[in-house]
Structure 1
Amino acid sequence: MKTRYTFGGDEQVYVEIDEEMSLDAFFVSLSMSNAVRAAKIDGVTEICPANASFQVRFDPDVIAPDEMLSRIKALEAEAEQAEKRLTTRIIEIPVYYQDPWTHETLMRFRERHQDPSGSDLDYAARINGYDDAAGFIAAHHAAPWFVSMVGFVSGLPFLYQLVEREKQLEVPKYLRPRTDTPKLTVGHGGCFACIYSVRGAGGYQMFGITPMPIYDPEQKVGYLKDFMVFFKPGDIVKWKPISREEHDRIEAEVAAGTYFPRIAEVEFDLDAWNADIAGTNAKLMEALDDA
């Protein structure tokens, strides 16, 4: 790893495990941030994990910045040797690809896009070597995705595709951000997918929409009554293509409080995944059949 430590003013330490996002870097970042939490260092007020990095906020009146930095650095070697295995959950997320709402929005902001002549899916398919949008959509939901970070706006997950690096779908963000993105849009920027938890500005390509809320500050949604944010780092997502009729049915069930996503508990072992990516992915997705 190429770990880099920097200060954020006089009350934050930023730890970047690697400039490149990888599952190895994610696991080291997760292990280190967990180790900082477990160490219960006096003065630490907040630990914020990200894709391949994390940030620690502390009170400089309790612990000096240099001492804080030294305490964090001491945990790096142990974190790199930590077992890259976690008990997590795989979640089926319904997606209405090529929906009318994101299509209307992307056409409104076409002048900000690399290819004003087509849709976001047409563009994504072409630059990833697919004959049409249908081929790209099939690749998008064929493999599971790993939630590496939650944030930027409340509840928004960043998802990293669990395939060989050379097979990852990659699409640049818009040339200039939009001032509008429908709530629950399934987007993509660089190597990351996301779900827009709220309506607002955004620059990711728009592929579809899910009827399943992932953020509810009022905690009225049945499966969000315990916590307003649905995702957490380490979750695994399986996209499920749905029709307009299925979208509307799920939306009605959410409103009635009767919808609950399909979830299964799984073990994710990074070494096992690296040794047999296709086989491990198949087992992960099969776990939902028994849920």
Structure 2
Amino acid sequence: MTTAHTPSGRTASKRDATIYTVKPFGLLAVMVDCRTLENALHLHGHLQQHPAAGQTELVPAAQTVLVRFETARQAADFLAAPDLPQASGDVRTHGRTVTIPVIYDGQDLTDVAAHLGMSEQAVIYAHTTGHWSVAFAGFAPGFFYLHRHDNVLDVPRRPTPRTSVPAGAVGLAGDFSGIYPRTSPGGWQLIGRTNAPLWDLTQNPPALLEPGMQVQFKAVRELISAGQAGVPDAPTPAQQPRAGSRPASSGQADAPAAVPGEVLEVKSPGLLTLFQDSGRAGLTHWGVSPSGPADREAAAEANRLVGNSAEDTVLENLAGGLKLTALTDVELALTGADTPATLTDPAQEPPLNLAVRPSTPFALMPGQTLTLGAPARGLRSYLALRGGFAAPHEATSASRDTLAGLGPKPLAAGDRLVRARASSAVVAHPVPVLPLPEPGTVLEVRALPGPRDDWFTPESLGRFAEVTWEVSQSSDRIGVRLLLADTPADGGAGTPPTNIQPTDVLTRAITRELPSEGMVAGAIQVPPSGEPVVFLADHPVTGGYPVIATVHPADLRLLAQAPPGTRLRFDLLTFPDSTPDRPRPSETKK
């Protein structure tokens, strides 16, 4: 099949030139704009049956399909010659129907009825008549966008999202309906509530719904509990395993077999210390993002130094403060941020107080304590244990996903940690330390335009790379939030005037609402405030703000290691200059 190249380097099929637009989404993904939900779901089904070379995951959305690839070359090959089917006017279904009871007493029911010019009873009748198709997963595990051809309940999102929407709330947004599986912020118009078990890790599969299924809503006066309805009750908090001490299984995947006995005790967890392994690839159809370490390279290096596989579970510590005491002989390695670490043993004469060398294996004997100080450079440190840490698995992984609430809870004082395996071969030979953001410099971060750079004025992309941004205090594992940096007293080059607003830098050319579409780590979303958010490991599966550019995969770890207050500029690349092994540009002084 031949392709037609647009001036911006994007491609589209000549056979369906008016239907599909194919755009690069960073180096490792391609977004296919299908114009309609029906076409997007048809393409999703086609690529499931006929996967492209190197295809690792598909994320269908309202009008697009995101295709992730194993390598940059495979993504480029698909971009140059995509295999796209003829369009379809049907939403694919497989005949399975789930009936969901709803009490229609939502906070926005009256407003929805007034907006649509109908009675509240007419809204309920329209919502319960006919079947809704499960189209695609949304922002959280178990959340799905439900669609109907004959839907008359087309209402906008609330102008100001609620900070907390209760679990089970049934809502409307645009021409979709959906159910919140857990308490979370949200801007949908709420018309009712249910107690259907939308996401339950004691069930297999854990998601009640999946794309292609049908949903029938049923109006009821009261909700029968899950147990009374013949569905197993969700585990009570007392039944849930504690974060660190002993391996457990959720029914999704067995935790690694553990050697009996505990090896480390948590004296202090610091600000935040999490279990992280290789993450949850392949579960976007449930609304589950990959998660995993924010700095994958540092986590893999820590595991390598103690002879583990790169997928073994490590500890990810934010900003130091972690204190662990050995209960038996252990071998450890510390990587990531430039974090001062000390090994102490008050029982020795004289008391032992040694500095621990980073990126080098070291031993801890019973009674000795490892303490991490505040990082001099970087933000996140990774601690690997020879044999790996044993930790409870949820949805195939021990990684803590802070957005979805999956995985073991953060470590707490008093937790006792268990080793996953009895033995492994220690690799004592260090390699050059991974680069970190340097204090007192402006960090240069490479990025590739798009896929929604055309939603901004042509001048915006230039301004985006010219100004200096600053990492906000509100950044986390979900995303790095950026503010415009203040102008220095000497009026340094590349900085905005003191009165400039973010929306003056990033001005929208297209102001309508963007239908939800798939997201990747490194995507730079621009909300209406004009302050960009760079998605990290715990990003949502889909998002509804345009992505002006996508961070180069090799530079994403630098953002994960950038403390609040770090200043940075984006170096926009063109795709011929964006090979993964290209050396990083040097940093510049503030």
Q: TM-score, normalised by structure 1?
A: 0.67
Deviations 1:220-278 (A, max 9, x none): xxxxx22111211121111100112xx0x23442587289xxxxxxxxxxxxxxxxxxx
> Contact 2:19 / 2:87 at 8 angstroms: preserved in 1?
no
2:105 maps to 1:126: no
CA distance, structure 2, for counterparts of residue 211 and residue 185 of structure 1: 9
Q: Using CA pairs below 8 Å that are at least 6 residues apart, which structure has the higher relative contact order?
A: 1
2:182 maps to 1:198: yes
Cα 1:5–1:203 shift into 2, 3 Å: same
Deviations 1:169-207 (A, max 9, x none): 111111111110010110111111100011110000111
Structure having the larger proportion of residues in strand: 2
User: What is aligned with 2:58?
Assistant: 47
Q: TM-score, normalised by structure 2?
A: 0.34
2:221 maps to 1:243: yes
Deviations 1:125-152 (A, max 9, x none): 112121x312221222122211111222
User: What is aligned with 2:22?
Assistant: 5
Cα 1:237–1:258 shift into 2, 3 Å: same
Cα 1:40–1:142 shift into 2, 3 Å: closer
Secondary structure of 2:204's counterpart equals coil
CA distance, structure 1, for counterparts of residue 133 and residue 74 of structure 2: 36
User: What is aligned with 2:571?
Assistant: none
2:100 maps to 1:93: yes
Cα 1:84–1:235 shift into 2, 3 Å: closer
Within the candidate set 136, 155, 178, 1:171 is matched to 155
**CA drift at 1:36:** 2.6
Within the candidate set 129, 135, 138, 1:148 is matched to 135
Q: How does 1:12-91 map to 2 (within 5 A)?
A: 12-18=29-35, 21=36, 25-26=37-38, 28-61=39-72, 63-71=73-81, 73=82, 75-76=83-84, 78-80=85-87, 86-91=93-98
My pick for the range that moved more, 36-45 or 179-188, is 36-45
User: What is aligned with 1:253?
Assistant: 228
Cα 1:152–1:256 shift into 2, 3 Å: closer
> Contact 2:68 / 2:75 at 8 angstroms: preserved in 1?
no
Identity between Structure 1 and Structure 2 (%): 26
Letter in 2 for 1:203: G
Cα 1:10–1:123 shift into 2, 3 Å: same
Cα 1:198–1:122 shift into 2, 3 Å: same
Letter in 2 for 1:257: P
Cα 1:31–1:70 shift into 2, 3 Å: farther
CA distance, structure 2, for counterparts of residue 59 and residue 191 of structure 1: 34
> Contact 2:91 / 2:133 at 8 angstroms: preserved in 1?
no
Deviations 1:107-142 (A, max 9, x none): xxxxxxxxxxxxx11111112121x31222122212
Aligned length: 217
Cα 1:258–1:5 shift into 2, 3 Å: same
Q: How does 1:200-279 map to 2 (within 5 A)?
A: 200-216=184-200, 218-219=201-202, 225-244=203-222, 247=223, 249-253=224-228, 257=232
> Contact 2:103 / 2:194 at 8 angstroms: preserved in 1?
yes
User: What is aligned with 1:108?
Assistant: none
- For structure 1, the 5+ residue unaligned runs are 104-119, 220-224, 260-291
CA distance, structure 1, for counterparts of residue 112 and residue 89 of structure 2: 37
User: What is aligned with 2:319?
Assistant: none
